[in-house]
Amino acid sequence: MSGRADVVALIRDGKSDRAIARELGVSRRTAGIIRRTVGAPPAKTVYTLTPEQMWHTYARPTYTGGHMDWTGPTNHAGTPVIKRQHVTYSARGMAFRRRYGRDPVGYVRATCDRPGCVAEEHVADAPMRAELNAQYNAIFGGAR
């Protein structure tokens, strides 16, 4: 495959294969093949969003119940996560830190029944869940 001059110019400008594909309407694969053909190293991905900005991008408020649906990536178990520079952050953990100003103890889970909810008001860490369960048992006299 011969290198298209416009693709080669963008490669030399340090653009990623994805940015070249978006700008010129070629596939990322084509940009990568031309990059290897001209002997250019892989472009370094520049992350422009912080994990906090990603949380705001992916967390969407619902119209009822104060829930927030997660529209971003999830891990193998379906837990909402944010991935940045090979580090994975728990979206619920971030919501917990925003709400309570401290790191959670144990896993952070939603206290509501809505799958994928990451609303700050609907998350609890292990000690908080244990306290809620104890209160439930004291009131209703049964394991929850």
What does the DSSP assignment read for 59-108? EEE-SSTT-EEE-S-B-TT--BEEEETTEEEEHHHHHHHHHHSS--SS--
pLDDT above 50 (res 1): no
**Alpha carbon of residue 55 to chain centroid:** 7
32, 69: one domain? no
Q: Is residue 127 part of a domain?
A: yes
Q: Is residue 44 part of a domain?
A: no
26, 62: one domain? no
93, 120: one domain? yes
Q: Is residue 45 part of a domain?
A: no
pLDDT above 50 (res 14): yes
Output the pTM of the full model. Answer: 0.63
Look up the domain containing 70 and give its range. 51-140
Cα-Cα-Cα-Cα torsion 118, 100, 129, 122, nearest 10 degrees, comes to: -30
Domains held by the chain: number? 2
81, 126: one domain? yes
Q: Residue 3: which pLDDT band, with cuts at 50, 70 and 90?
A: low
24, 73: one domain? no
27, 82: one domain? no
Spell out the residues 6+ positions from residue 2 whose beta carbon is closer than 8 angstroms to its own: 37
22, 70: one domain? no
User: CA–CA separation, 5 vs 1, rounded Å?
Assistant: 12
pLDDT above 60 (res 107): yes
User: CA–CA separation, 69 vs 82, rounded Å?
Assistant: 14
Spell out the residues 6+ positions from residue 54 whose beta carbon is closer than 8 angstroms to its own: 72, 82, 84
69, 28: one domain? no
121, 78: one domain? yes
Q: Is residue 43 part of a domain?
A: no
61, 29: one domain? no
| Nearest residue to 95 (alpha-carbon basis) of 64, 58, 127, 132 | 58
> How is residue 13 annotated by DSSP?
T
Q: Which amino acid is at 14?
A: G
pLDDT above 70 (res 37): yes
